[in-house]
Structure 1
């Protein structure tokens, strides 16, 4: 399997590193919070001494406003633990940052990025995927009303198709079309005999469980604590813009 490597830009020897705040969505499934906490432990292991914090948009503690309030007026980089652009990335997170005393910079969401393709490929392989004639893959994502989210998911699907050498169709658990069952039905009608579902979710939860149940062959596990995820979080942290955002929508490049 091809592994994507990224250089880590050197930090200033005089200024303390900005705090890293990983912003998770939040979930009622307790496995999600356990997974996110384990992922943050991986980030800390990769960058000892870097202050790493967690904040949730909803559903779980600590909520992002509480995390930011505890940081006072120090500098921080907020990295969304989200896989595409959408309302949370464009509005919710910047607005929460702007309402806090933190000197915040908001990084781009995790996707699209080749490191995610590394993780998706690995999860499919772990589930038993191997390329053969007639295969296809459904890239199962959460879905959003924001068209930029579908653009980002489509780009990941194209990157994964290039890696696997088989068709990869993006599909969604809610809000957007096609649904995962509809994508599976269309691929079956087109003559694909083995259709795998790649779980394009950061952690276990309802959407990941429901899309896995629809798989006619194999379903990969969510991205979770794959090592590429921790590396990508740090990459987004390092590439965040050098100046604090003055309004929503000022994000690092994808």
Structure 2
């Protein structure tokens, strides 16, 4: 398994993602390598080139929440560099992610009955936007409240506008934003500055225990790609 994340300059984000990979490595019954599509090293292409020659196949497991350029293009192109390399599905949408988001919301102070805006990074690809809307539907089913979608970049509606619209629609109610990001970093800092009364943390928190749901989901995506 090659666990491939985006990469970040944020030390907290680096620790959080590395902790997830380390936990997957502890419970997986295969070799687990860590690679990145941007910012950090090793890049996924370089790592694939450096693996020993042999008959063993590799599976690239995106530690990325939605489909987008990195999953649909970058990882697909990297997989061609080594025979018998497959690309697993992105982590989301999935009910296990909804469970972790609910935990983060409660941790931040969300109260049952409060509507939620699910804030994603954004992507130019329509499939990724569709994934976020499906994730919102799963979260709404779990929370029993309306969940809308907004984005920090590259897609509409913009998070700031979504927050303003929600406040105009119900001035007496807190605006609650759920982060739909994997780990701390630049995009999380933008979400935290969106103007909402309550913003939850990303799925992974630095220096906290890795949610078992995320470990199970990575293993599930790997197993499905092997079938």
Q: Normalised by the size of structure 2, how large is the TM-score?
A: 0.92
2:212 counterpart (227, 245, 249):
227
After superposition, the CA RMSD in angstroms is 1.4
Q: Which runs of 5+ in 2 are unaligned?
A: 205-209
Match status 1:36 vs 2:45: no
Distance in structure 1 (CA, Å) of the matches to 2:90 and 2:217: 10
> Of 179, 187, 192, which aligns to 1:212?
192
Aligned to 2:93: 112
State the match for 2:159 in structure 1: 180
Find the residue that maps to 1:194 and give its secondary structure. Answer: coil
> Equivalent of 1:83, from 55, 65, 68?
65
Aligned to 2:207: none
In structure 1, the gaps of 5 or more residues are 1-19, 243-254
Please say if residues 101 and 203 of structure 2, whose CA atoms lie closer than 8 Å, have aligned partners that are also in contact. Answer: yes
TM alignment of 1:65-84, pairs within 5 A: 65-73=45-53, 74-84=56-66
| SS of residue matched to 1:204 | coil
Aligned length: 219
Structure 1 residues 212-221 or 83-92, which shifts more? 212-221
Q: Name segments (4+ residues, structure 1) moved above 3 Å.
A: none
Equivalent in 124, 129, 134 of residue 150 of structure 1: 129
Aligned equivalent of 1:249 = none
CA contact (8 A) 1:136 1:187 kept: no
Q: How big is the shift at 1:226? A: 2.2
For 2:190 and 2:70, the matched residues in 1 are separated by 23
TM-score w.r.t. structure 1 length? 0.82
